[in-house]
Structure formats: structure tokens, C-alpha cells
């Protein structure tokens, strides 16, 4: 069965608050999405997983593009808003200590011991 598709592209600059430094940050949304128009939940269940349903029970039902875009924007929000690594005003302690680990060159070479394990009779 052929169903109408709604293809839309949403672009927005959202002003969020970074949850690390609590400073304002810009979250750019540039997102294309496709909705497949169906009559009810049963039809929606029949859609393949890569299609999102748009349920319109009545052929004359009007849809609000504002609501559609609002939903997509909410879906595109990050779970936790944070600046990009390095762009944040607050250094994250865990990341900092990881970067300050001693270099591997101070460790003993684990293969050095093998040099002393020559089989008897050889050499
Ligand atoms: Zn930040």
C-alpha cells in the first residue's frame, strides 16, 4: 500500500546552557526527516523501522507544522548540553588527570625479559 510521505528539513540555532560551566552555548540543528502518513497505531506498526509515522486519523485533519518542528527539535536536543571538548570554560577534572598520566617510556619494556630466555644450547 502506498502512503504519502512528508519530507521536511529543520534548521535552527538553539541557545542552551552548558551543564558543565553553566555558560550559554549554541546548539545548531540541521536535520532532515521523513514522516509517513498513516491512519492509526496499527498502520504505524507496519512501517519499516527507518520510517517514522505521522498519524492522521481523518483525511481532513489539519496538522500544525509548528508542532511537527517542535517535536523534531526536542528530539534533536542533546541529553546533556555541553560545550565541545576544549571549548568549555571549565576544565573537567577527570579529563585533565587522564592527560597528565606519565608517559609510557618510563615503564620497563615487558619484552626485555624475553631476551634473557634463550634456550640452552643456542647462542
Ligand atoms: Zn561549558
> Do 18 and 24 contact (CB within 8 A), yes or no?
yes
> From the CA of 93, how far away is ligand 1's center (Å)?
13
Place of cell 481523518: 58
CA distance 55 to 62: 11
> From the CA of 88, how far away is ligand 1's center (Å)?
4
> From the CA of 22, how far away is ligand 1's center (Å)?
6
> From the CA of 14, how far away is ligand 1's center (Å)?
15
To the nearest whole number, what is the mean pLDDT of the chain?
Answer: 82
Query: For the chain, which residues make up each domain, given as ranges?
Result: 5-106
pTM summary value = 0.56
> From the CA of 86, how far away is ligand 1's center (Å)?
9
**Over the stretch 78-88, which tens digit does the pLDDT of each residue have?**
899 999 888 88
**pLDDT tier at 30, thresholds 50, 70, 90:** very high
Question: Strands 24-38 and 5-17: what pairing?
Answer: antiparallel
Cell digits for 47? 512501517
> Do 18 and 25 contact (CB within 8 A), yes or no?
yes
Amino acid at each position: 500500500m502506498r502512503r504519502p510521505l512528508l519530507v521536511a528539513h529543520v534548521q535552527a540555532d538553539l541557545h542552551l546552557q552548558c551543564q558543565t560551566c553553566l555558560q550559554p552555548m549554541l546548539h545548531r540543528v540541521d536535520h532532515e526527516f521523513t514522516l509517513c502518513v498513516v491512519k492509526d497505531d496499527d498502520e504505524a506498526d507496519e512501517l519499516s523501522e527507518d520510517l517514522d509515522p505521522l498519524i492522521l486519523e481523518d483525511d481532513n485533519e489539519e496538522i500544525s507544522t509548528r508542532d511537527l518542528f517542535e517535536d523534531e527539535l526536542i528530539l534533536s536536543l542533546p541529553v546533556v548540553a555541553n560545550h565541545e571538548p576544549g571549548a568549555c570554560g571549565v576544565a573537567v577534572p577527570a579529563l585533565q588527570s587522564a592527560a597528565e598520566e606519565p608517559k609510557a617510556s618510563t615503564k620497563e619494556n615487558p619484552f626485555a625479559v624475553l631476551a634473557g630466555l634463550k634456550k640452552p644450547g643456542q647462542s
